[in-house]
Structure 1
Amino acid sequence: MKNLMGSFEKIMMPLASKLGSNRYLNVIRDAFMLSFPLTIFGSMFVVLANLPFLDKILSEKNLNFFRAAITPAMEGTLLIATLFVVIGLGYYLSKSYKVDALFGGALALAAFLILTPFSLEGADGIIYGVIPIERLGAKGMFVGMFTGIFATEIYRKIIQKGWTIKMPDGVPPAVSKSFSALIPVFLTLTIFLLIRIWFTYTTFGNIHDFIYNVVQKPLVALGSGLPTTLIAVLFIQGLWFFGLHGQIIVNSVLDPIWNTLSLENLEAFQKGAQLPHIVTKQFIETFTVGIGGTGMTLGIIVCIFMFTKSRQLKEIGKLAGPAGIFNVNEPMIFGLPIVMNPIILIPWIISPIIVVAFSYFVMKFGIVPPPTGVAVPWTVPIFFSGMLATNSMLGGILQLVNLAIVTVIWLPFVKILDKQYCSTENIVLEDLDVDVDLKTEFDSL
């Protein structure tokens, strides 16, 4: 076991270190977090618009009026999420290079819009002067990411070469910054305009369709499969075992794919169409992290309170329980401990893999609906997060079934820990009793 752990650590630690320190992965993560509160806002209105009992209490006319009234909340956030990611990429990447971040974000957005066709194919022909909203959502996500990164890289290199207009000291800072950005912005946007023109002479017609068909669709198809998802979960659990935040490291690589899958599900859900994907960002968070945190440690807390006698375990359970309800499990990970504890390696790795596979097939066979793409805060407690993510009570029930599966898997291993802790506690109590007896005898003398 020690040799196996040592070999695994030699492979994983350098890889995790490189991924964790990668500039672009960190910037992508931060860019998606920029859009998080905005998409949560829009998601809440998606939930309101699709509550199952609305058609029972509202007439068809009033229901249509209500949904039309709150639709802008979704259209102005969820359906244009790519715009927020592009701005975030430009901003945070510029900031990492210590160049003006605000201009970096604005430049990235402008470059993305230059590449985006301002036309829509309608029933009577092509309509010009409009942007298809799908280009600003799931379908344009990878174009937005590439544009945000490359535009910012060109922009910062021009600035760092000193190709800027320098104004006298007395000029106000806002004016000085504008003139300093003038040449870098002009050159960068010219490059993207030339890219736009060049793609009009290809069979794709624009870079959006090129990226979507050549890059995005294959990656999304790969990321939506069960094998890739299980490998991701394995890496998350393995990294956490060695004390590294596996969720952040793995998510920084796969979040672009999982978020794109979520947006595609959301667009289908709003149209009343069949949801195309099972694996999405919400699937990963709701049916793994949403059961007590990474590793579904709510099952361990249930085992502790129902089946253990150790005082130490009971105290850990009391400390970790309230936080675990809201999916914060650091008290359990470092208090049990889970990190570098060979006794719990098997359930720590196996239980999430079994639950993810079980959840996937339950949804694949239509027993439980897949996540709709609505963004659910990861701190929402079990059952409620499942209902919100799937727009069905069955999602919450599936979480409870998953909790039972995790509890059963963990039980024999928690019992082993319980025996060890009880044995240690009894030895300590015996030593204390001996000390008390000696003290009593000494006092009598």
Structure 2
Amino acid sequence: MKKVLLTCGAGASSGFMAQKMRQAAKKKGLEYEIKAVSESELNDYMANYQILLIGPHLKYKLDALTEEAAKYNLPVKVIDEDIYGTLNGEALLEQVDEILPGYGEKQAPAAPTSTKVEKQEVKAAPTEQTNTNEHSNFVMDWVQNKLVPNMNRVTGNGFVKAIQDSMMLILPFIMVGSLISIFGIIRENFPAFPDLAVINTFSFGLFSLFLSFLLPYKVMENYEITKYKFYAALSGVATFLMLTLPVNVDEGMAFSADKLGAGGMLVALFTGIVVAAVFKAFAKFSFFKKDTSMPDIVVSWTDALVPVFLLLLGATILYSTQIDIYTLISDLFAPVFNIAQSLPGLIICSLVVTVMYAFGISSWAVFPVIWAIWMQGITDNISLAEAGTAATNLNLMEVFHPFIYLGGTGATLMLVIFMLRSKSKRLKLMGRLTIVPSIFNINEPVVFGTPIAFNPLLMIPMILCSIVLPIITYVFFQIGFVQIPTEAFQVWYLPIGLYGVLATHDIRSLVLSIVNLAVSGAIYWPFFRAYEKIEVEKEAKGEV
């Protein structure tokens, strides 16, 4: 049996791709085990599979993923954009067969025989517009030769990757906590319905505590310092809890629930990075010689004594002197968060993510930064609402995904709808293949299959939407037409309209969703028609 592992970041679009591959394998009577996982889960699965296939939007991480997969003698292949865009499971199976020609135990690829993988270049859009002038070539070359390698170095850093992976691993708890708000709506209308709010308290409400454990653990894992993984993780929790400055009460110690939840995220990040850095510094330290007769477990916990003691000593000093790290870090980053929550900040965040995506770079590259802004924003809104004050923050996941990312980053849903009735056979097929993922805000197939990425004719409206839609959304909320979210609701795979209503608890949000859909459609329409004309002409000439 051939075993194929896929990833795309969060495991969403690659999940659709894996499903198509399984269907194709079943149709051909082939024995395949095909699984799609998030990037943060790769290390848990790579040892049991024969090949790793990554989405084209993760090409900038190819070097880092290839290096990691080499530990398991696992070849890595970037899925062709056309195959990924059309979710062509049969074609992808054929490519896998070329690399893994036989059945049996895990093996290295037929050629080359080493674990070094031939790197595929992300293809430019197969249209006449892609290389129409020298300026376009210059931009594309700069992205490929400058931006992508630098992004690869940044995201390949052990600490940066650990932050990304840690947040991804916490996502199920955030989603569970978010879904509880639905039960809250039900309970408002049916008081007899049980109160499930405590689930939110012990899922989303422990976000920072989870982060303080996972971040040091993942850093140790990334740098292969296995002997300190759990010691670093536990030290992270202990240090973080001391930095919350718990209060002594008759029953023991009282911890602030706000600091354990999303409100303590920045301190959890600070704690995790410091703890990981200390343990990394002591990676080669040992009280024993290499040929010691002492059991390995004894060597490990004895060597861990020094970094554990130093970290807890430092935390004890801060606790004893009542130095409030929360306030210090909040004051330090306050100017950044204030700018981020302004209209220019809203546009900048939207624009940066969309431009990167238009050049084939996954939004997960900047996810830690964007998510930090979103989490702090919703946390502040929750606090303001609890204090009886009007919420003000709009740079939130609860705003971006229901109203700006309509069908995915770049608001591509209307483009897909246009393609469903296109005169071009290829575009109509693309519309049919990508409409279901788009409804659930998953648009990698349409971005790389149409394609939008590296296609100036469709990149322009995508980028325009990232500027115009935040402005419209900001105005609607500022004039009070739609209620600003005051509860965490981070389930971004919900369909447009439903997500907005549940995130804002305001039926009027449907109007904003419809307006933004209409505006995005108006922006895409002339560019779509121009692109459609080119495709129809190519089809008439037999070029497609």
Pairwise same-fold verdict (TM > 0.5): yes
Matched, 1:114 2:242: yes
Matched, 1:162 2:278: no
Partner of 2:156: 21
Say whether the 8 Å CA contact 1:261–1:281 is kept in structure 2.
no
Superposed, 1:418-433 pairs within 5 Å as 418-428=532-542
1:196 to 285, 294, 319: 319
Say whether the 8 Å CA contact 2:166–2:218 is kept in structure 1.
yes
SS at match of 2:542: helix
Instruction: Identify the structure with the greater helix proportion.
Output: 1
1:284-338 CA-partner distances (Å, limit 9, x unpaired): 233233x2111111110111224x2111111111111122112221221111111
Say whether the 8 Å CA contact 1:86–1:147 is kept in structure 2.
yes
Superposed, 1:234-245 pairs within 5 Å as 234-245=351-362
Structure 2 distance, partners of 1:5, 1:227, is 30
Say whether the 8 Å CA contact 1:295–1:351 is kept in structure 2.
yes
Deviation at 1:228, TM superposition (A): 2.0
Deviation at 1:55, TM superposition (A): 4.3
CA change 1:420–1:327 in 2 (3 A) is same
Matched, 1:211 2:329: yes
Partner of 2:401: 285
CA change 1:394–1:96 in 2 (3 A) is same
Structure 2 distance, partners of 1:359, 1:190, is 48
1:262 to 335, 359, 378: 378
Partner of 2:213: 87
Partner of 1:72: 198
Opposite residue 238 of structure 2, the aligned amino acid is A
Deviation at 1:9, TM superposition (A): 5.7
Opposite residue 284 of structure 1, the aligned amino acid is F
1:247-298 CA-partner distances (Å, limit 9, x unpaired): 1122232321221112222344466642231111322233233x21111111
CA change 1:182–1:250 in 2 (3 A) is same
Deviation at 1:153, TM superposition (A): 0.7
Say whether the 8 Å CA contact 1:34–1:84 is kept in structure 2.
no
2:309 to 186, 211, 214: 186
Partner of 1:32: 167
Superposed, 1:384-399 pairs within 5 Å as 384-399=498-513
Superposed, 1:38-437 pairs within 5 Å as 38-51=173-186, 54-58=187-191, 62=192, 66-67=194-195, 70-99=196-225, 100-119=228-247, 129-162=253-286, 171=295, 177-197=300-320, 199-200=321-322, 205-212=323-330, 214-245=331-362, 247-269=363-385, 273-289=389-405, 291-306=406-421, 308-428=422-542
Opposite residue 224 of structure 2, the aligned amino acid is K
Structure 2 distance, partners of 1:415, 1:105, is 54
Task: Quote the sequence identity (%).
Answer: 26
TM-score normalized by the length of structure 1? 0.83
SS at match of 2:282: helix
Unaligned runs of 5+ in 1: 432-445
1:375-403 CA-partner distances (Å, limit 9, x unpaired): 33221111111122112222344223211
Opposite residue 302 of structure 1, the aligned amino acid is I
Structure 2 distance, partners of 1:5, 1:215, is 41
Structure 2 distance, partners of 1:312, 1:88, is 45
TM-score normalized by the length of structure 2? 0.69
Say whether the 8 Å CA contact 2:212–2:233 is kept in structure 1.
yes
**Which stretch of the first structure deviates more once superposed, 215-224 or 381-390?**
215-224
Deviation at 1:374, TM superposition (A): 1.9
1:9-35 CA-partner distances (Å, limit 9, x unpaired): 637445534443343332222222222
Partner of 2:58: none
Say whether the 8 Å CA contact 1:372–1:391 is kept in structure 2.
no
* CA RMSD, Structure 1 to Structure 2 (Å): 2.9
Partner of 2:138: 6
Structure 2 distance, partners of 1:19, 1:168, is 39
Paired residue total: 407
Say whether the 8 Å CA contact 1:376–1:385 is kept in structure 2.
no
Say whether the 8 Å CA contact 2:402–2:497 is kept in structure 1.
no
Partner of 2:116: none
CA change 1:7–1:418 in 2 (3 A) is closer
SS at match of 1:50: helix
Opposite residue 85 of structure 1, the aligned amino acid is L
CA change 1:321–1:261 in 2 (3 A) is same
CA change 1:185–1:224 in 2 (3 A) is same
Greater C-alpha radius of gyration? 1
Deviation at 1:8, TM superposition (A): 7.5
Opposite residue 76 of structure 1, the aligned amino acid is F
Deviation at 1:106, TM superposition (A): 1.0
SS at match of 1:105: helix
Deviation at 1:412, TM superposition (A): 0.8
**Which stretch of the first structure deviates more once superposed, 357-366 or 99-108?**
99-108
Say whether the 8 Å CA contact 1:16–1:239 is kept in structure 2.
no
Structure 2 distance, partners of 1:102, 1:71, is 31
Opposite residue 209 of structure 2, the aligned amino acid is L
